[in-house]
Amino acid sequence: MPTGLLTRLRTAWQNSTCTITRPDPDNVTWDGTQYVPGTVAVYSGVCLLQPMPNEVRIVQAGDRARSLKTYKLTVPASVSSLIDDDVTVDTSADSEAVGMSLRIIDAPKGDLTTVRTLLCEETV
């Protein structure tokens, strides 16, 4: 693969940024009615968000149904994420994606990984 193309591919996905957080059991506060766990940032930086159009799950809530879309989120391989971590899209070339809240539903690990591809689902 030509070096110029490899460089463009490596940096092309760096147009979006996201933050991955998880509950922090050491940082719990009382809001007047219940204890609320704080969160700790696991990662904040560049990412690539890609919709998976054939992966939609219908959730029934009372008499209403809602479709939850699945996304692939690519982050650097050094990111240590877990299933059920929360993701917020901070910046994106797609203005509709900014502020989107997702939950990680699969975080595969592997050898020789240069990037980590996480499967995420919209949160209700």
pLDDT in tens, 84-123: 999 999 999 888 999 999 999 998 887 767 888 999 998 8
Q: Which token pair is 124?
A: 């209700």
pTM of the model: 0.78
What is the 8-class DSSP label of residue 78? Answer: T
Q: Which domains does the chain have, with CATH numbers?
A: 3-122 (2.40.10.270)
Question: How are beta strands 86-91 and 35-61 bridged, if at all?
Answer: unpaired
Check if the beta carbon of residue 98 is closer than 8 Å to that of residue 89: yes
Q: What ranges make up the beta strands (E) of the chain?
A: 16-30, 35-61, 64-76, 86-91, 101-106, 115-122
In sequence order, what are the residues at sequence separation of 6 or more whose Cβ sits closer than 8 angstroms to the Cβ of residue 104? 20, 73, 81, 82, 83, 84, 85, 86, 87, 118, 119, 120
Q: Which tens digits make up the pLDDT trace of 38-83?
A: 899 999 999 999 988 776 677 777 787 767 788 999 998 888 888 9
Per-residue confidence (pLDDT) for residue 113, from 0 to 100: 72
Task: Considering only residues 4 and 108, tell me which one the structure prediction assigns the higher pLDDT.
Answer: 108
What are 74's two structure tokens?
Answer: 């690519």
Q: Taking residues 18-28, what's their average pLDDT?
A: 90
